[in-house]
Amino acid sequence: MSWQIVEVDTGNVVSENGRSTTLPVDSMEEVDRIAWPIDASVRPGTYRVTMKVVGSDGQALSTNHTDITVR
């Protein structure tokens, strides 16, 4: 499981994390929580949060993303 937050205009990765875990088939578990303090130093713009879960064979099991606009 991995996630990253990327500034869309520049491609700059502002935060990321990855973890290895074993989950039972057809289960759901919170493995990590994305926390990104958006303070005054964060540049205005669009940021993409991308999340990915891969199986032991390296194949993607789930991918998702959402965009956040900082003004």
d(CA 36, CA 23): 26
pLDDT over threshold 90, residue 25: no
- Is the pLDDT higher at 11 or at 55? 11
- Is the pLDDT higher at 30 or at 50? 50
**Average confidence (pLDDT) over 15-33:** 89
Domain count, the chain: 1
Contact 43, 11 (CB under 8 A): no
62's enclosing H/E stretch is strand 60-70
Domain extent for 31? 2-70
pLDDT in tens, 45-66: 999 999 999 998 999 999 999 9
